[in-house]
Amino acid sequence: MSARELDDGPRPLSSPQERLFLLDQIMPGLAAYNVPTLVRLSTTLEESLLRSALNVIVSRHEILRTRIRLIDGVPAQEVTPAAELELSVTDLRSHPQAEREQEAQRVLGELACRSFDLAGDVLLRAALVHMAEDEDLLLIVFHHVASDHASSGLLFAELDQLYCALRDGSEPSLPELPIQYGDFSRWQRERLAGPYLDEMVEYWSERLAGAPARLELPSDRARPSVQSHSGRLCEFELTPAQANPLRELARSQGASLFMVLLAAFKVLIHRQTGVEDIVLGSPVSGRQHEETASLLGYFSNTLALRTDLSGDPTFAALLERVKQSTLEARAHEELPFEKLVEVLNPDRNQSHSPIFQVLLGFDVAQQQPTLAGCTLEQLPVPGWQWSRFDLSIILREREDGSLHAQLEYATDLFDESTIERLIGHYKTVLAAVASGPEQRLSELAILTGAERARMLVDWNETARDYDRRPLHEQFAAQAARAPEAIAIVSGEERITYGELDRRSSQLARELLDRGIGEGAIVAICLERSIDLLVSMLGVLRVGAAYVPIEPTYPPQRQELLLTDAGASMLITQERHLVMIAPRGTAVLCMDRDRERLAAHSDAALEFDVDPEALAYVIYTSGSTGEPKGVEIRHRSVANLLAEMRERPGIGEGDVLANLTTLSFDLSVPDWYLPLTTGARLAIIPREAALDGVELADWLTRTGATIVQATPTSWQMLVDAGWKGSEQLKIVCGGEALPRSLAEELLARGASLWHMYGPTETTVWSSVIELHPGEGAPALGGPIANTRLYVLDANRQPVPIGVPGELYIGGDGVARGYHERPELTSEKFVADPFAFGGTERLYRTGDLVRWREAGTLEFLGRIDHQVKLRGFRIELEEIEAVLGTHDDLAAAVVVVREDTPGDRRLVAYVVAARDRAPDEEQLRRLLKSKLPPFMVPSTFVTLESLPVTPNGKLDRVSLPAPDGARPELSRPYAAAQSPMEEALASIWCEVLSVERVGIDDDFFDLGGHSMLAVKMLARVRDSHGFELELGQVFEHTTIRELAGSAAGALLGEIDDSDLEELLAALEEPEQ
């Protein structure tokens, strides 16, 4: 490196300067790259001496009086011959103490955060505040383009010499600078060329090949599309007692203290994110050459340190990996980070910094700087509201052996409380590795003791007594209290508690006569009706359990459930026998055998049933292609009912309206909650439950005061213009609840209750009453006698705010899966937090995180199970059925929401042997084996499925359906009348397809019941005529539906109107 001649002219920018210049062009006035240092002195500085000393430094270091501007379109450094530094002086000694502090914070904060004009300002400014007779505050602010971390120490060292010399009237003994920063930038440009550059680029390109583009720490808010650099600074200490064991660990492992600190921080990130390939930034001084040692300027570089944490190594083994990668990186540290970004050319994204988003730095202990004979005490900079990265920590050794840390974090992402917890976790990990470096990463403590107790104990203190009697006994006791009260209203039918009690007793006697008793399983295939409740109660009274089978399921599905359950009897109606084939199972038809049942005594049965006995087996979707039966005990339902009597609360004057099918376990409290409390159950007809306008009318007619439904059903009501009811308790669950819908419901009811729970823990496991607010509605905490744990892959509790899998324990946990011992042992696991006993937890597969208030936030699934319109669907089950088709080489099914609010199943298929699969054939295959809600709306044929670099299916890259009309066996036929044209236009909009033929089936085009409701609303709003939902199911093409609608319209007008209409149609066009 050599010094330049005075007339050399402008110099090129160094690589790091270039990046800062570009940032300044993109975000003018950004103060995030100011570098402020605030110190306190126990003396009073003389303003004139301080100003003179600082101006000598400005004169001595050209970089401080360098202007950066475009010359011939290229940014360059131009040194001005002379410049005066800005020094503001504020004297607060005469002010009251409280006012002094406040005014000093204001003055210093303003200066620290005021931006620099790189083309005109001196790149150093200062402020002096006289606080008391022997107390001054001195703030020095560089722009990063003219400084790095070492520059601050160099400046204070020179300032001390200059100030003391000027004060004493002596000559300062500062050595002459061999070069200036412009010489370095020129030299760097020349050096980073040819073979040396190629060697550096080759190393870093190989080292970072395939590295993840972004590290997502658990945050409080979603990442904004453009990084604002808004941030905050906080500080923490590691005492000598905490730091010395880390030094000893470093010595014993042949590593540096920095390597230990870095490895521990990567452990923390790994445990919080599950990521095994972590890239962090780490600054290095960049002052390898003697000529740069005493220069102010931006010499530092940032290394991208990548570590593989896979295989759950011991901390000692991980430290060895970190050591090797760090030493390699230091050997190749001269490649500027900016050049690395240029070479790797990652996808440019303004939401985060490239290559890494988290930085960890370390400074060795240095002598405390002095000024005017006083040791300087560094203070936090007031008003600092910037962060260059998502998170950065700089740890500095102090002379007493402690470590002082400054942590800067992005306030776009994190709350202060989250960062405080993270600091606690880091300290916990550091203590754990110091005491046991041979522990595996999964074994290292991460939670503070207080946080662990809070999550495992405090938030799960839910034990309380409840009525554990079997369900039918609780009903019978209520029937005895008020036998004449109306128990159920179903359409035009109604039944009293006493009559329901007697009819269920008669059915129970018939079952006993047929050999159905304790431990038996009885299938029930009935529409929602009074007969259904008679059947369920009758089965329970003999100690048997029932299996609900939805009458609308395809025969093959019904038969599968009947066979898998090993049902001893099927209770149904004669008309359903056309669909369901009992195949040797005894059959009881509630209509055909009504007289036989009525002949039995209606006296109550004296039959003891254990609360631990099974009440029902309900089937859910299975990932293997076969549904699985969940076995639920009486006691589990009794616990749920006890909770719901309090939250949301129910009494004898209430009316609970049931909308939900019997095969969906959300219906369980609909049946038993009113019947065990003396309330009334109102069963809403199936057609009305699928039509928002009709449903609103039924809720009014029945006087409903409590309704449980999925968000999909509630949205349908809101979209239909439902006004709500001041007496209605709204219970919402079964799928994700959008905040917008929650706000709509809060305005329409007396209260809104958000419930959550899988079938395997008896319908609901958490509850919360929602209020107006922002963000995703919380799931709430555990209900009575229930425990909720959020655990990592090693079943260790994760910190508050960190995603993990939800495990549920307590009285609601199912006995297991019917005749599936292996699956039961996989999903129902031993409770690691139970002291003795044989408690079990259910692994939900739901990804959640704790909030500070002890409520949960739902984040998604860890597998490919989804909730769609309230139904739980294992996507693998659909894929397994598709996999049986000979024309398919591969198939994958996903849920897409390409139009807001319209979530639908989409199947992506790859043809076998170049044979294009017939979409209608695939649809028929699925319809024959699966319920309607599991048949994809859309099929997309691909040449191959997209994969990630490591060969896994890349679901993110699956293309959106193109909106083209599916390949159907019937040819396209255009609309022939205004009504057909109107319907075709609306179908295209609702189904998101480009064109629809009048003979195309609504459901073959991807329609489902909720889209049918939406379509009917559009017809009503756009064209003013009403169609009923039943018409869509009966007339599934535009030709049929238009004909049906036309017939209905003609039937409503009288003869004279008809004559006028026909005459108008026959008039020639004008």
State the DSSP string of 520-585.
Answer: -EEEEE--SSHHHHHHHHHHHHTT-EEEE--TTS-HHHHHHHHHHHT-SEEEE-GGGGGT---TT-
% helix, strand, coil for the chain, step of 5:
40, 25, 40
Q: Which residue in this structure is represented by tokens 């001084």?
A: 285
**Residue 784 parent element (H or E):** none
Work out the angle at residue 825's Cα, subtended by the Cα atoms of residues 790 and 273, and round it to the nearest 5 degrees.
30
In this structure, are strands 586-589 and 569-572 parallel, antiparallel, or unpaired?
parallel
Residue 932 or 812, more confident: 812
pLDDT reported for residue 946: 83
**267-295 pLDDT, tens per residue?**
999 999 999 999 999 999 999 899 999 99
pLDDT band at 852 (very low <50, low <70, confident <90, very high): very high
pLDDT reported for residue 1046: 72
CB atoms within 10 A of CB 240: 14
Give the mean pLDDT of 843-871. 85
pLDDT band at 4 (very low <50, low <70, confident <90, very high): low
**Residue 692 parent element (H or E):** helix 692-702
**970-985 pLDDT, tens per residue?**
678 888 888 888 899 9
pLDDT reported for residue 1061: 45
What's the chain's average pLDDT?
90
Give the mean pLDDT of 170-174. 88
**pTM given for the model:** 0.80
- At 155, list the tokens: 């400046």
φ/ψ of residue 66, rounded to 5: -100, 135
Asked whether the beta carbons of 1046 and 979 are under 8 A apart, the reply is yes
State the DSSP string of 195-232.
Answer: HHHHHHHHHHHHHTTT--S------SSPPPSS---BEE
Asked whether the beta carbons of 731 and 708 are under 8 A apart, the reply is yes
pLDDT reported for residue 295: 96
**625-646 pLDDT, tens per residue?**
688 999 999 999 999 999 999 9
Residue 1020 or 46, more confident: 46
pLDDT reported for residue 625: 66
State the DSSP string of 36-48.
Answer: EEEEEESS---HH
pLDDT reported for residue 1047: 66
Rounded CA gap, 555 and 577, in Å? Answer: 10
Q: Which residue in this structure is represented by tokens 């060329």?
A: 193
Give the mean pLDDT of 873-898. 83
Asked whether the beta carbons of 54 and 124 are under 8 A apart, the reply is yes
> Is the per-residue pLDDT at 5 higher than 70?
no
> Is the per-residue pLDDT at 1062 higher than 50?
no
Rounded CA gap, 245 and 993, in Å? Answer: 66
**pLDDT above 70: percentage of residues in the chain:** 94
Sign of CA dihedral 790, 791, 793, 799: positive
**Residue 312 parent element (H or E):** none
φ/ψ of residue 1043, rounded to 5: -65, -45
**372-427 pLDDT, tens per residue?**
999 999 999 998 899 999 999 999 999 899 999 999 999 999 999 999 999 999 99
Asked whether the beta carbons of 76 and 13 are under 8 A apart, the reply is yes
- At 308, list the tokens: 């593989």
pLDDT band at 1051 (very low <50, low <70, confident <90, very high): low
pLDDT reported for residue 296: 97
pLDDT reported for residue 171: 86
**909-923 pLDDT, tens per residue?**
988 776 777 888 888
pLDDT band at 361 (very low <50, low <70, confident <90, very high): very high
Asked whether the beta carbons of 813 and 841 are under 8 A apart, the reply is yes
Give the mean pLDDT of 317-344. 94
Contact residues for 70 (Cβ-Cβ < 8 A; gap 6+):
76
pLDDT band at 1058 (very low <50, low <70, confident <90, very high): very low
pLDDT reported for residue 927: 84
Domains of the chain: 11-184 (3.30.559.10), 225-366+381-446 (3.30.559.30), 864-961 (3.30.300.30), 972-1070 (1.10.1200.10)
| Range with the poorest average pLDDT among 662-676, 806-820, 913-927 | 913-927
pLDDT reported for residue 1065: 41
- At 274, list the tokens: 């599950």
Give the mean pLDDT of 470-494. 97
